[in-house]
């Protein structure tokens, strides 16, 4: 039993516990215990990872375990982590943990809600630890399907439409992805020998360039749909707007990162030559995402739409940086995933809490909330400042690494695109300050809001944990950037070959 | 000499910020204020000790060498490029430490009285500490990226403090405007950093300003639109400076920033943050001078134009804080011009030295003016001149200190402004008589509008006040800072500044340029005389006549030549209406519409083909049979 | 006269096409059912005939024919039961009326 498999096992046990739990108290007990265990486990893995690396272990992946699963197709259950996966695991466990607190008063059908929630976690954690393409794809699907029910049943507004749209678009992406993965599988042994699904082996074998050219776009777009790649991002505003709080958190915070992580781990790592050749197309698309998402966010009036478009912009930056194909920019991309995951989860948590009180998300109908709910107000301002890249919070570190890294590219085209992408920091400031100004400052618009209360203790837990993580990364980024950068070195070597 | 204790100068305000920010509400307002002020007093003392130690260090080959007591890697990009956080002590940063801590301490003390009874007193002190921390971090930065980090942090502290009265819509709008305008300028700064670091492979000030041409070797021959790439980079960095220092056309946020509490205006928008741009140009001066002299000329022109523009606008404003705000813009223009016309070696570097000197003296007397204005506003509860007048009797201390500051800014000896401004004018005349002439004219305008302000507040016709609301002198904790700053403004001019700060690090001895000094004093006296005639009594009809005569010009100047309206037009019309809205529409209707259209056409298609599934079993069998026959035919004959 | 294999095959082919024709053209469900029986029986004849003429030593063809007769009997029983139920529901066993399951 490897350490990593616990990441899948714990949510499964939580499922079992939930099945037996009776009453809200027991459900909460199961969820909090499980989520805390996951959080603890992710820190144990982090500690283990760092100490192994410090001890001079230079293997590409650590904590590897491998079990044959389906021999005729050479499918394994193979797990292993490098610095990037560790970062993603911490992110996921933090967001699962805070998501539990953010949905403390889930109603109706809390048990069913948390069952799907746990299943989603199984998929997410499984995806990040897998190094076998098939297992990875399976966990990917496991993570996507519960989303349909979570939004369709527990959502608000046009929830059926949003759930259907989200699922169909992501399934469309999965279809491309499946073709891509099969293509990779059947070209995984160019010099004879058995086909393999193991990522490390495929990377060693080097796929033929013709196959790469064909399957790189399929895989990249397949994962890119989840990473909100323009023009396949429109599930994001509707999906986020309709999803319940903790689902929005998990979705924007973690699931969208599956896209970025997959693009990097599968598309670029396995097909570096095609990535070099074709990156310009996707760079243009992601460059558009970055600026376009930010501009769109400027005129939205629904809090969640603003945040969804802002996610399009920020996740666009992730893919943008990955496509720059150098170590600094890619480090920045992973940090941006981490940072965006945390701050967008914080945003969605706060929006959910505000919505739960005011029953509206339209910024025109709210105002002066800072005075009424100072805790939530301050949290919102901090999230906003993180989003617009204030030094000392995680957004700055990530964005600057991306910009500096991208600008080190020798090609003028890439540098010009970087400059275009940097303009987003101004537009981000515009829409963040617009929202903060309208929502929190000024005079109270609706007199009924005067009677509202500030955050409860469980809401405070969620908010404080997320803010602490954002500040921790923002103040002391060196270790995490070194951890990620170190793991990227072999990838970059692969690219240069 | 070890100067590790300098790190405390940064850490103490940070700790105060965290303490007051997190648990500030547990303290009473008074305790919070005292904690903030007490810590800042310690910090100020540390800064003075640092200055003493630094300037008493022996020179190396006649040059003051920088000291770096602390420098560690904060974020790693590539082997060459990494953000370090550290402390760089050199003449200008030490000078800035003294300025910032002094003004900040005065403002902390003053605020104890001024902000008494305000809601959010603890928050106010927390933000002040945050600002002080950020500003100190900015000036001691060892590399340009550290500057950028703290540059953003001062920006956000300024945002928070301008919007301190967050229930007031004007304050919210002003804070937003200040942040976004400076953010826009910072975009230039960031791109400049990216360009500079790409070609030089370093962020470090030490490498960049070493004068070593090999640092810029990679950029040789790279040009863009006729300018060398380094010139472009530093020009972009100057855009950042122009945003922070409110240079035309990025000055629009500063007058609005006066919506913040007055002590904040004194600290941030008069003495410290707004001169950060000047400071950064000075910090990168060798790069400008050796690599991009054409940009220096541009800086001089921008500075001169801004200075003239702001001085003209200041002449017709009626809100006393706005007059001071435009005066600040104008004076920063002076500093920029001085840098722009400066050279490097020996006496050539007079402009650089004069700029820093003016920065120093201006910080003191402008803080004094703002704090004085704060005391007046505190007394009459209004910013408008028409509610003032004749206050010299009710507020003697404020009156006296305000007068000293007015004389200092007008350039009347022996007050500090005379010396620094005189050196700037001398440097300008050396650069070109035209520049000298223009700057002298602006100096005259300065004297005129400052005394217009002075007479309107303290002389003229006393405004009618409601009984029981007569203006009265401010409490002691507000007047003491005024007196201290006034004392500094009286004596600061006699500091042999060139001995401490100069462009090349050598000692620069200055002497009064007789002709320039006499001319400028005469001009200033004439301007003050005109102001006296026009405004002392408050009954002279000439100003009103003039305003009537040049109605168009007066109105345009009063509305700041419609620059704000232009920006309003650009942002609301162009960005919101013609960019954001179409993009949002495009997203909803074209991209999303295409996807919905795809779903719709899939649905239509399935409706269309379901007719084939008629339910008539015999029809199926018929098709089946035909199909079989076709296959048979194909198999047999094809 | 010798009875040759072809005669059987001709008979069964005629039966098969008669069945197909009936299946496609008849309107009455029972007639359709009878047509199906015709087709099945034509196949049974083939089984038996092939067995008898081509592999006289083996018995599989006869068995299969018997088996098919059994299955078709069962199938007819089910089909008639369905028909009766349809009749009970819609009072009609005309094939072209039975399209409620379309769409």
Is A81's pLDDT higher than 80? yes
Rounded to the nearest 10 degrees, the angle between the axes of helix A159-186 and helix A133-154 is 170
Q: Which two tokens stand for residue A38?
A: 């996951």
A385's enclosing H/E stretch is helix A374-387
Q: For the residues C71-92, what does the mean pLDDT come to? A: 88
A213 in contact with chain B, both atoms CB, cutoff 8 A: no
Per-residue three-class SS string for B148-181: HHHHHHHHHHHHHHHCCCCCCHHHHHHHHHHHHH
Kindly compute the dihedral angle of the four CA atoms of residues B624, B625, B627, B631, in this order, to the nearest 10 degrees: 140
pLDDT of B591: 83
Residue of A299, A428, A487 for testing the chain B interface, max B β-carbons within 10 Å: A299
Interface of A with B in 282-321 (CB under 8 A): 292, 295-296, 298-300
Q: Which two tokens stand for residue B312?
A: 């003209």
| Cβ atoms of residues B14 and B72 within 8 Å | no
Is A200's pLDDT higher than 80? yes
What are the backbone angles phi and psi of residue A66, rounded to the nearest 5°?
A: -150, 120
Query: Cis peptide before A108, with omega less than 30 degrees from 0?
Result: yes
d(CA B235, CA B188): 9
| Cβ atoms of residues A322 and A491 within 8 Å | no
Residue contact B591–A231, C-beta within 8 A:
yes
Is C102's pLDDT higher than 60? no
Q: Where are the beta strands (DSSP E) in B117-260?
A: 223-224, 227-228
Chains that touch B (3 or more CB pairs under 8 A): A, C
3-state secondary structure of B81: coil
Measured from the Cβ of residue B305, the count of other Cβ atoms closer than 10 Å reads 16
Q: How distant is the Cα of B593 from the closest Cα of chain C, in angstroms?
A: 28
Measured from the Cβ of residue C94, the count of other Cβ atoms closer than 10 Å reads 12
A66's enclosing H/E stretch is strand A62-70
Residues comprising chain C, all counted = 103
Q: Where are the beta strands (DSSP E) in A71-105?
A: 75-81
B22 in contact with chain A, both atoms CB, cutoff 8 A: no
Measured from the Cβ of residue A398, the count of other Cβ atoms closer than 10 Å reads 31
Selection from A168, A172, A198, A174 nearest residue A184 by Cα = A198
- ipTM for the assembly: 0.90
B567 in contact with chain A, both atoms CB, cutoff 8 A: no
pLDDT of B595: 84
Could you state, in chain order, the average pLDDT of each consecutive group of 10 residues for chain B (638 residues)?
A: 80 90 83 89 92 85 83 86 88 90 90 84 89 91 91 91 86 87 90 88 84 75 77 90 88 86 87 89 88 88 91 86 90 90 80 88 90 87 79 83 89 84 86 87 89 84 71 81 88 82 76 77 87 78 76 76 77 77 83 86 87 77 89 90
Residue contact A437–B172, C-beta within 8 A:
yes
Q: Which range among A69-73, A343-347, A405-409, B33-37 shows the weakest confidence by mean pLDDT?
A: A69-73
Q: Which range among A349-353, B165-169, C30-34 shows the weakest confidence by mean pLDDT?
A: B165-169
pLDDT of B559: 77
**pTM, to two decimals:** 0.87
Per-residue three-class SS string for B303-344: HHHHHHHHHHHHCCCCEHHHHHHHHHHHHHHHHHHHHHCCCC
Of B610, B617, B622, the CB nearest to C95: B617
What are the angstrom distances between the C-alpha of A289 and each of A303, A319, A326, B328? 19, 10, 20, 41
| Cβ atoms of residues A437 and B259 within 8 Å | no
| Cβ atoms of residues A296 and B583 within 8 Å | yes
Q: Which two tokens stand for residue B462?
A: 């006393």
Of A233, A296, A407, the CB nearest to B583: A296
Q: How distant is the Cα of A473 from the closest Cα of chain B, in angstroms?
A: 11
Is A410's pLDDT higher than 50? yes
Residue contact C24–B614, C-beta within 8 A:
no
Q: For the residues C50-60, what does the mean pLDDT come to? A: 88
- Given 3-state DSSP classes, what are the helix, strand and coil percentages for chain A, each rounded to the nearest 5? 75, 5, 20
Selection from A35, A115, A109 nearest residue A461 by Cα = A35
d(CA A206, CA A209): 9
What are the angstrom distances between the C-alpha of B530 and each of A135, B197, B268, B327? 86, 52, 32, 18
Tell me whether residue B618 is exposed, middle or buried, using C-beta atoms within 10 angstroms of its C-beta: 0 to 12, 13 to 18, 19 or more: middle
d(CA B128, CA B12): 12
Using a CB-CB cut-off of 8 Å, the residues of chain B touching C99 are: 614-616
pLDDT of B536: 77
Residue contact B595–A481, C-beta within 8 A:
no
Q: How distant is the Cα of C78 from the closest Cα of chain B, in angstroms?
A: 17
| Cβ atoms of residues B401 and B483 within 8 Å | yes
| Cβ atoms of residues B275 and B332 within 8 Å | yes
Selection from B194, B208, B448, B426 nearest residue B311 by Cα = B448
d(CA A424, CA A321): 14
Give the β-pairing of A62-70 and B82-89: unpaired
Rounded to the nearest 10 degrees, the angle between the axes of helix B169-200 and helix A412-422 is 160
For residue A306, give its domain range: 3-496
What are the backbone angles phi and psi of residue B64, rounded to the nearest 5°?
A: -80, 120
CA B266, B268, B272: angle at the middle one, nearest 5? 100
Query: Cis peptide before B249, with omega less than 30 degrees from 0?
Result: yes
Residue contact C95–B618, C-beta within 8 A:
yes
d(CA A306, CA A281): 27
A450 in contact with chain B, both atoms CB, cutoff 8 A: no
Cite the DSSP H helix spans in B341-383. 350-380
pLDDT of B149: 92
pLDDT of C103: 46
d(CA B567, CA B252): 9
Residue of A309, A324, A441, A482 for testing the chain B interface, max B β-carbons within 10 Å: A441
pLDDT of A346: 92
Of A234, A292, A419, the CB nearest to B191: A419
CATH fold label, C5-97: Helix Hairpins (1.10.287)
Is A1's pLDDT higher than 60? no
DSSP conformation letters of A114-142:
HHHHHHHHHHHHHHHHB-BHHHHHHHHHH
Measured from the Cβ of residue B608, the count of other Cβ atoms closer than 10 Å reads 10
Q: Using a threshold of 3 CB pairs under 8 A, tell whether chains B and C touch.
A: yes
How confident is the model over A324-335, as pLDDT tens digits? Answer: 888 888 899 999
Cite the DSSP H helix spans in A187-271. 199-205, 209-226, 235-242, 245-250, 256-262, 269-270
Q: What is the count of structural domains for chain A?
A: 1
For residue B60, what is the DSSP state?
B
Sorted by where each begins, the domain ranges of chain C are: 5-97
Selection from A336, A350, A356 nearest residue A477 by Cα = A336
Q: Which residue has the tokens 């009156």?
A: B399
d(CA B261, CA A23): 53
Q: Using a threshold of 3 CB pairs under 8 A, tell whether chains A and C touch.
A: no
3-state secondary structure of B86: strand
B85's enclosing H/E stretch is strand B82-89
Bridge partners of residue B228, in order along the sequence: B223
Residue A205 φ/ψ region, left for φ over 0, alpha for ψ in the -120 to 50 degree band, beta for the rest: alpha
CA A384, A390, A395: angle at the middle one, nearest 5? 75
Q: Which residue has the tokens 């692969």?
A: A494
Is A4's pLDDT higher than 60? yes
pLDDT of B516: 79
Is A453's pLDDT higher than 70? yes
pLDDT of B468: 66
A251's enclosing H/E stretch is none
Cα distance between the two ends of chain C: 57
DSSP conformation letters of B464-493:
P--TT----PPPHHHHHHHHHHHHHHHHGG
Nearest-CA residue of chain A relative to B574?
A295
C18 in contact with chain B, both atoms CB, cutoff 8 A: no
Of B616, B621, B622, the CB nearest to C99: B616
Q: How distant is the Cα of A418 from the closest Cα of chain B, in angstroms?
A: 9
Residue contact B172–A385, C-beta within 8 A:
no
| Cβ atoms of residues B410 and B362 within 8 Å | no
Cite the DSSP H helix spans in B464-591. 476-491, 497-500, 514-535, 542-549, 551-558, 563-568, 581-585
């Amino acid at each position: 039993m490897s350490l990593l498999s616990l990441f899948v096992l714990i949510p499964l046990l939580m499922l079992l516990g939930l099945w037996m739990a009776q009453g809200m108290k027991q459900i909460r007990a199961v969820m909090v215990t499980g989520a805390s265990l996951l959080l603890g486990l992710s820190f144990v893995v982090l500690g283990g990872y760092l100490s192994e690396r410090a001890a001079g272990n230079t293997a590409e992946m650590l904590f590897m375990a491998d079990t044959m699963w389906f021999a005729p197709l050479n499918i394994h259950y193979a797990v292993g982590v490098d610095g990037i996966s560790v970062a993603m695991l911490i992110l996921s466990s933090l967001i699962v943990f805070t998501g539990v607190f953010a949905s403390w008063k889930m109603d109706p059908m809390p048990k069913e809600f948390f069952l799907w929630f746990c299943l989603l976690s199984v998929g997410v954690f499984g995806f990040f630890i897998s190094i076998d393409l098939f297992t990875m794809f399976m966990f990917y699907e496991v993570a996507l399907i519960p989303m349909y029910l979570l939004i369709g049943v527990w959502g608000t507004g046009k929830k059926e439409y949003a759930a259907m749209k989200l699922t169909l678009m992501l399934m469309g992406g999965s279809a491309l992805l499946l073709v891509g993965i099969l293509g990779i599988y059947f070209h995984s042994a160019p010099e004879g020998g058995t086909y393999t699904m193991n990522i490390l082996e495929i990377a060693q074998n080097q796929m033929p360039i013709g196959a790469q050219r064909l399957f790189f776009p399929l895989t990249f777009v397949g994962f890119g749909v989840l990473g909100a790649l323009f023009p396949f991002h429109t599930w994001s505003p509707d999906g986020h707007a309709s999803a319940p709080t903790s689902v929005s958190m998990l979705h924007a915070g973690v699931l969208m990162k599956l896209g970025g992580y997959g693009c990097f781990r599968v598309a670029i790592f396995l097909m570096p030559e095609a990535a070099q050749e074709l990156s310009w197309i996707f760079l243009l698309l992601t460059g558009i995402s970055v600026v376009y998402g930010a501009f769109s966010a400027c005129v939205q009036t629904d809090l969640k739409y603003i945040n969804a478009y802002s996610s399009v912009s920020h996740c666009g930056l992730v893919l943008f940086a990955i496509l720059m194909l150098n170590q600094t920019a890619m480090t920045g991309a992973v940090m941006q995933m981490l940072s965006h995951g945390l701050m967008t989860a914080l945003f969605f948590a706060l929006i959910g809490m505000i919505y739960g009180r005011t029953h509206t998300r339209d910024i025109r109908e709210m105002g002066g909330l800072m005075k009424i709910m100072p805790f939530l107000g301050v949290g919102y301002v901090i999230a906003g400042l993180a989003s617009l890249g204030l030094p000392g919070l995680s957004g700055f570190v990530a964005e600057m690494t991306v910009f500096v890294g991208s600008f080190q590219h020798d090609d003028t085209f890439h540098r010009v695109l970087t400059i275009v992408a940097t303009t987003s920091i101004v537009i981000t400031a515009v829409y963040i300050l617009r929202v903060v100004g309208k929502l929190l400052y000024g005079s109270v618009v609706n007199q009924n809001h005067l009677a509202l209360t500030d955050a409860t203790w469980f809401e405070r837990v969620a908010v404080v944990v997320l803010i602490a993580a954002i500040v921790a990364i923002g103040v002391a980024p060196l270790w995490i950037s070194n951890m990620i950068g170190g793991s990227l070195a072999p990838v970059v070597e692969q690219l240069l070959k | 000499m070890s100067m590790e204790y300098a790190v405390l100068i940064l850490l103490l305000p940070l700790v105060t910020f965290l303490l007051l920010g997190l648990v500030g509400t547990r303290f009473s307002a008074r305790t919070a204020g005292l904690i903030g002020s007490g810590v800042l007093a310690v910090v100020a003392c540390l800064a003075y000790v640092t200055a003493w130690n630094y300037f008493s260090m022996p020179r190396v080959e006649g040059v003051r060498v920088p000291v770096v007591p602390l420098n560690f890697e904060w974020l790693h990009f590539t082997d060459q490029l990494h953000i370090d956080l550290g402390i760089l002590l050199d003449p200008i940063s030490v000078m800035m430490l003294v300025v910032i801590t002094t003004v900040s301490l005065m403002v902390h003390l003053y605020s104890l009285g001024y902000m008494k009874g305000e809601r959010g007193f603890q928050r106010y002190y927390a933000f002040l500490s945050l600002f002080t921390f950020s500003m100190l971090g900015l000036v001691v930065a060892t590399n340009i990226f550290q500057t950028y980090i703290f540059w953003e942090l001062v920006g956000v502290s300024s945002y928070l403090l301008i919007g301190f009265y967050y229930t007031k819509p004007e304050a919210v709008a002003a804070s937003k405007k200040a942040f976004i305008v400076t953010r826009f300028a910072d975009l230039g700064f960031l791109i400049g950093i990216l360009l500079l670091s790409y070609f030089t492979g370093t962020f470090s000030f030490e490498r960049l300003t070493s004068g070593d041409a090999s640092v810029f070797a990679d950029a040789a021959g790279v040009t863009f639109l006729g300018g060398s790439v380094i010139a472009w980079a530093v020009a972009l960095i100057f855009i950042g400076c122009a945003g922070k220092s409110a240079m035309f056309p990025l000055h629009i946020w500063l007058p609005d920033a006066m919506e913040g509490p007055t002590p904040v205006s004194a600290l941030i928008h008069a003495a410290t943050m707004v001169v950060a741009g000047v400071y950064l140009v000075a910090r990168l001066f060798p790069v400008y001078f050796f690599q991009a002299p054409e940009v220096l000329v541009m800086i001089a022109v921008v500075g001169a134009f801004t200075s003239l523009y702001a001085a003209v606008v200041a002449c017709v404003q009626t809100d006393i804080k706005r007059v001071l705000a435009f005066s600040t813009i104008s004076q920063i223009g002076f500093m920029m011009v001085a840098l722009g016309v400066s050279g490097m070696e020996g006496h050539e570097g007079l402009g650089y030295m004069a700029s820093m000197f003016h920065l120093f003296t201006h910080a003191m007397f402008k803080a004094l003016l703002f704090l004085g204005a704060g005391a007046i506003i505190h007394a009459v509860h209004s910013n408008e001149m028409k509610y003032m007048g004749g206050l010299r009797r009710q507020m003697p201390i404020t009156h006296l200190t305000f007068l000293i500051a007015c004389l200092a800014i007008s350039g009347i000896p022996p007050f500090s402004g005379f010396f620094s401004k005189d050196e700037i004018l001398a440097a300008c005349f050396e650069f070109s008589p035209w520049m000298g002439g223009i700057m002298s004219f602006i100096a005259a305008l300065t004297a005129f509008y400052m005394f217009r302000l002075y007479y309107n507040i303290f002389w003229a016709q006393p405004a009618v006040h409601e009984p029981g609301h007569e203006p009265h002198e401010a409490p002691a904790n507000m007047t003491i800072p005024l007196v201290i700053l006034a004392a500094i403004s009286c004596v600061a001019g006699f500091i042999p500044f060139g001995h401490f700060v100069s462009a090349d690090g050598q000692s620069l001895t200055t002497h009064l340029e007789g002709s320039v000094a006499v001319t400028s004093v005469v001009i200033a006296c004439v301007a003050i005389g005109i102001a006296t005639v026009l405004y002392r009594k408050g009954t002279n009809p000439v100003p009103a006549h003039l305003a009537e005569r040049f109605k168009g010009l007066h109105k345009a100047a009063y509305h700041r030549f419609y620059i704000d309206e232009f920006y309003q037009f650009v942002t609301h019309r162009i960005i919101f209406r013609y960019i954001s809205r179409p993009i949002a529409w495009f997203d909803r209707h074209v991209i999303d519409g295409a996807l919905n259209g795809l779903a719709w056409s899939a649905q239509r298609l399935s409706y269309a083909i379901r007719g084939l599934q008629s339910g008539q079993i015999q029809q199926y069998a018929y098709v089946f049979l035909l199909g079989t026959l076709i296959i048979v035919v194909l198999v047999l004959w094809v | 006269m010798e009875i040759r294999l072809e005669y059987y095959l001709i008979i069964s082919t005629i039966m098969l096409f008669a069945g197909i024709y009936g299946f496609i053209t008849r309107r009455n469900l029972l007639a359709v059912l009878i047509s199906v029986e015709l087709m099945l029986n034509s196949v049974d004849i083939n089984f038996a005939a092939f067995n008898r003429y081509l592999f006289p030593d083996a018995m599989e063809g006869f068995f299969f024919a018997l088996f098919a007769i059994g299955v078709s009997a069962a199938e007819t029983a089910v089909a008639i039961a369905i028909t009766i139920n349809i009749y009970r529901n819609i009072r009609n066993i005309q094939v072209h009326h039975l399209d409620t399951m379309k769409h």
